[in-house]
Structure 1
Amino acid sequence: MFDAVERDIRAIRLPRWGRVVAAEGVVPWLVVDPEGVPVVPIRRFLADFVARDNRPGSVRSYAYDLLRWWRWLRVVEVAWDKATPTEGRDLVLWLKQAEKLRRSPRTKSAATAGTVNPITRKQYLDDRYKPRTTRHSNAVVRSFYEYWIDIGEGPLINPVPRDRARGRRRPNAHHNPLEPFRPDARLRYNPKVPKRQPREIPDERWNELFGGLRSNRDRALLALDVSNGARACELLGIRSVDLDWGDQRVLVCRKGTGAEQWLPASPEAFVWIRLYLADLGESLAPNDPLWWTLRRRDRGDGLRRQPLNYEALRAVLKRANDLLGTNWTMHDLRHTASLRMARDKTLSLRDVQVILGHAHLSTTADVYLIEDEAEVVRRVQRHLVDREQQIQEPTQSVAVGYDASDLTVLFGGTPQ
């Protein structure tokens, strides 16, 4: 019934309708229309989302996906409470071939967009929507409509349906209590996502990257990250009081759970932190952020010190990447630290899980307990070389008492 609607997907262009804005009050981020008025259905959903103890970063992410959904509904001229699986399906089809809306055209990055860096072997981002973006969009839209269906004020059908296999109308109906519950059926229009291997920075490349940094603050940040694999947002949240100089630990606020956790740091990282604080030229109050930068304010009073944010941290790596011709990211540092710990025979997988802050041991095992592809290739190459040498080596003379022709039949080759 819903498939009767046919649209020219390639001809659709999303309008620049509305925007996501920071807000005061319970809901930290809102979707507003061109006049600045909050979109009420989204605001009510986000209020419920916040009440379920979700963090501001997640609220912002959901708001942007719902803004895209609202723009899509305006283009196809369907009211939000009249949407059907056809609209959900067509949005997925549109995301597969569309280019992202950009505030300004690419300049320097236009030549590298979508290409593979010859040094890091990593692909540069392009303007296409990735499968993970589509999957996240589907999850957000489905969650939005589940809320409205549950309270009885939305449509009767969710525009992002599940694809339940035949014979599985009741998920986990015959569940074995000794085994974990299987997740319910996948979303019908979710694209497949290839499993990515963690991106490790080789030691020689790490030395080049570290040498390309311009300040002791930047060296302290990267040395700290590569020693314990903390996430960028966790590093930026460190305060002056969160440094344990005696035991060489730092206290971070974990992403997702918000729990505080002490993480070890290398002696080298604390040396660079000490040098950075000496460069800062002023003592920090206990609850002051640890990382600061100089920025020019609009008030015309020159450079002012302010806490380092994520965009400024990205700029640190961008300057080093431009110098080296690479495209390393902060998450590559986390992968590097994780793989170093996973390969250490003195550390258990449980140790690595605790330091990385994974909720489940299976997450750590699935991502980091893998064979290094480069090492596998080297071992196979050694096997091929050894085999070639064995073929070329002269065969040994036949011992007394054995017939050479019989051994030839049995083992092959040409015994002497």
Structure 2
Amino acid sequence: MGVLVVEELDSRGRDLASMVLPSWGRVVSIDGVVPFAMLDDIGAPVEPVQTFLRDFTACGNRAGSARSYAFALLRWWRFLLAVDVAWNHATAAETRDFVLWLKQAAKPVAAYRTASLKLIGTVNPVTRKEYLGDDYKPRTVRHSNAVLRTFYQFWIEQGHGPLVNPVPLARRHGGSRPNEHHNPLQPFRPEGRLRYNPPLPKRRPRAIPDAAWNDLFTALGSHRDRALLALAISTAARASELLGVKACDVDWGEQLIRVRRKGTDAEQWLPASPEAFVWLRLYLGGLSRMAPSDALWWTLRRRRRGEARPQRVELSYDALRAVLRRANALLGANWTMHDLRHTCALRMTRNANLSLRDIQTLLGHAHLSTTQIYLEDDDHAVIARVRQHHAELEERAARQPRPALPGAEYDVGDMSVLFGTGAGR
């Protein structure tokens, strides 16, 4: 029998597997009330997106969120150009095809990438973490759906755009009301979920073992880097929160640092380890006197080609990633700044003097359920305990006399018959 070949075309004749989005438009940072703009192929702002971003910013959302929404909408605009559908004529069919395309498409990457392409899908032998690939993860797809749902809801409320939001909600089971016939012994089923949202894999906390942390710390090349990572692993602050610390945000007497929380921008004082403040003092000792409003972390860069001396500029997130990249290259690892946050949280859960509520406050989690993931031990701790268990069994067995194995004594003549002359020698 022949193999039945089904051409993967939907009802509108779209070949999603071979579709390539045009390199149309771009997102740029701008000066003004709205920090980012989405430009078309001739450099003009895309008015539907820019009007939405203005309202989005006015609702109190931060600049990073506006940037994330702008890039998600740029990807959606490119898809609509590829399928030849206007933004205000999109339907649920376009959203469905967009999600299907994201599940099999690869992200656009820089042409100079060579070494990292060979590591995609492999597992690092030091950290046992898989190297990220160029595919779109389920969280990216879900974020894209949420952005599009919010964007179209805004324009529907304004009386423009499609009559029905093209990002539909999930169908209810049997058309029943939300949580109808709910079992009080079971948790409530979340309602209002987007229809084309893929399920998320279960997240497990990952910690850096103590020996690996010592190796990583030794591989750092400056007091600044040691101070920054020592603060990260003792406060569990995010990288963006640490980079936003100013000189006035350090309380030397109480050994506290003040961060502005991601999302809420709320100020919070976090206790740090004495070792972190020692490295911070050594780092600041090599700098000139700074004003209280100055940033805490600096680096040297040549802003223009041909400058005789590098200028001092604020340490950026990309520069911090480069610091870890150099250290990982020496160790053959792929640790990240977020691994330090996980490590700090897992260390605190093993301390009987700290409650889960204390850890939630330190991590800045809005819900206790988010903090509960750290109650599970990471793989490194479990493997270490199992190895200790096997070693104890071996030691116990070595202290006991071993019984003779059956067949340990045999007749040489019988073995010669079975295996030939000279087999018993």
TM-score range, shorter chain: 0.7 to 0.9
Q: Do the aligned partners of 2:258 and 2:268 also contact (CA within 8 Å) in 1?
A: yes
**What per-residue deviation string (whole Å, max 9, x for no partner) do you get for residues 351-409 of structure 1?**
101111111112111x211134444456667389869979x989xxxxxxxxxxxxxxx
- Structure 2 residue aligned with 1:57: 64
- Structure 2 residue aligned with 1:249: 256
- Structure 1 residue aligned with 2:285: 278
Structure 1 residue 263 corresponds to structure 2 residue 301: no
CA distance in 1, matches of 2:246, 2:391: 54
Structure 1 residue 306 corresponds to structure 2 residue 325: no
Structure 1 residue 222 corresponds to structure 2 residue 199: no
Equivalent residue runs for 1:373-388 within 5 Å: 373-376=379-382, 382=389
Q: Do the aligned partners of 2:36 and 2:66 also contact (CA within 8 Å) in 1?
A: yes
Cα offset, 1:108, TM superposition: 2.2
Cα distance change on mapping 1:373 and 1:119 into 2, 3 Å? closer
Structure 1 residue 33 corresponds to structure 2 residue 33: no
CA distance in 2, matches of 1:242, 1:177: 47
- Structure 2 residue aligned with 1:297: 303
Q: Which amino acid aligns with 2:24?
A: W
Cα distance change on mapping 1:372 and 1:285 into 2, 3 Å? same
CA distance in 2, matches of 1:151, 1:43: 14
Structure 1 residue 102 corresponds to structure 2 residue 109: yes
> Per the alignment, in what secondary structure is the counterpart of residue 64 of structure 1?
helix
> Per the alignment, in what secondary structure is the counterpart of residue 306 of structure 1?
strand
Equivalent residue runs for 1:119-268 within 5 Å: 119-167=126-174, 170-171=177-178, 183-268=190-275
**What per-residue deviation string (whole Å, max 9, x for no partner) do you get for residues 35-81 of structure 1?**
11111111111111112111100010000000000000000000001
Structure 1 residue 350 corresponds to structure 2 residue 357: yes
- Structure 1 residue aligned with 2:422: none
Q: Do the aligned partners of 1:250 and 1:262 also contact (CA within 8 Å) in 2?
A: yes
Residue among 316, 331, 334 paired with 1:324:
331
Residue among 81, 91, 116 paired with 2:98:
91
Structure 1 residue 287 corresponds to structure 2 residue 293: yes
Q: Compute the TM-score of the two structures, normalised by the length of structure 2.
A: 0.86
CA distance in 2, matches of 1:181, 1:189: 21
> Per the alignment, in what secondary structure is the counterpart of residue 17 of structure 2?
helix
Q: Do the aligned partners of 2:206 and 2:379 also contact (CA within 8 Å) in 1?
A: no
CA distance in 2, matches of 1:284, 1:178: 59
Q: Which amino acid aligns with 2:64?
A: G
Q: How many residues align?
A: 389
- Structure 2 residue aligned with 1:397: none
Cα distance change on mapping 1:380 and 1:243 into 2, 3 Å? closer
CA distance in 2, matches of 1:181, 1:28: 39
Cα distance change on mapping 1:166 and 1:176 into 2, 3 Å? closer
**What per-residue deviation string (whole Å, max 9, x for no partner) do you get for residues 263-298 of structure 1?**
001000000000001122x01101000000000011
Cα offset, 1:166, TM superposition: 2.2
Aligned-pair Cα RMSD in Å: 2.5
CA distance in 2, matches of 1:386, 1:40: 70
Cα distance change on mapping 1:378 and 1:157 into 2, 3 Å? same
Q: Which amino acid aligns with 1:35?
A: I
CA distance in 1, matches of 2:13, 2:400: 70
Uncovered stretches (5+) of structure 2, i.e. residues with no partner = 1-9, 402-425
Q: Which amino acid aligns with 1:287?
A: S
- Structure 2 residue aligned with 1:370: 376
CA distance in 2, matches of 1:151, 1:286: 45
Cα distance change on mapping 1:217 and 1:176 into 2, 3 Å? same
CA distance in 1, matches of 2:220, 2:151: 44
CA distance in 1, matches of 2:345, 2:21: 40
Q: Compute the TM-score of the two structures, normalised by the length of structure 1.
A: 0.87
Q: Do the aligned partners of 1:165 and 1:185 also contact (CA within 8 Å) in 2?
A: no
Q: Percent identity?
A: 61
- Structure 1 residue aligned with 2:341: 334
- Structure 2 residue aligned with 1:409: none
Q: Do the aligned partners of 2:223 and 2:283 also contact (CA within 8 Å) in 1?
A: yes
Uncovered stretches (5+) of structure 1, i.e. residues with no partner = 395-416
CA distance in 1, matches of 2:101, 2:233: 39
- Structure 2 residue aligned with 1:406: none
